[in-house]
């Protein structure tokens, strides 16, 4: 019985986390942020992906630590955005500066590692 309750809790937590995800990326806002000289961070996600949720949680916390930073997310099943950014996998982290991609990683969820990547890109 205890195992069933633990499994139920894990499944419920995953579903609740998945419901918090939404696409915030749009091309006009992305281009505007770059034209304003902002560092742009983009992360991809997919429903029920716990590593995606961990990465997004870390980014939501960290984004306020940096000035002149714009953060966007998108569901990797959105073919238009995925093709535009050449992203094939969830939990992909992209950083753009001066209208160029300066960083790309897959699966990084550690808050400290993400902080260092953003800091080194600014």
Indicate the domain borders of the chain: 2-121
Q: Determine the pLDDT at residue 121.
A: 86
Q: Determine the pLDDT at residue 18.
A: 44
- Phi first, then psi: what are they for 101, rounded to 5°? -75, 125
What is the CATH architecture assignment of 2-121? 3-Layer(aba) Sandwich (3.40)
Q: Determine the pLDDT at residue 1.
A: 57
- What mean pLDDT do residues 81-108 have? 96
Model pTM?
A: 0.81
Q: Determine the pLDDT at residue 86.
A: 97
By mean pLDDT, which of 30-44, 53-67, 94-108 is the weakest? 53-67
Please say whether the dihedral angle defined by the alpha carbons of residues 45, 21, 78 and 66, taken in this order, is positive or negative: negative
Enumerate residues 6+ apart whose C-beta is below 8 A from 77. 46
């Amino acid at each position: 019985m205890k195992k069933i309750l633990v499994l139920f809790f894990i499944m419920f937590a995953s579903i609740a986390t998945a419901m918090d995800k939404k696409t915030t990326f749009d091309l006009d806002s992305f281009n505007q942020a770059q034209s304003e000289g902002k560092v742009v961070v983009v992360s991809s996600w997919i429903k029920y992906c716990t590593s995606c949720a961990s990465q997004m949680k870390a980014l939501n916390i960290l984004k306020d630590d940096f000035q002149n930073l714009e953060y966007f997310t998108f569901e990797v099943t959105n073919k238009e955005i995925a093709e535009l950014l050449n992203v094939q996998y969830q939990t992909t982290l992209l950083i753009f500066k001066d209208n160029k991609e300066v960083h790309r990683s897959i699966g990084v969820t550690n808050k400290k590692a993400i902080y260092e990547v953003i800091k080194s890109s600014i």
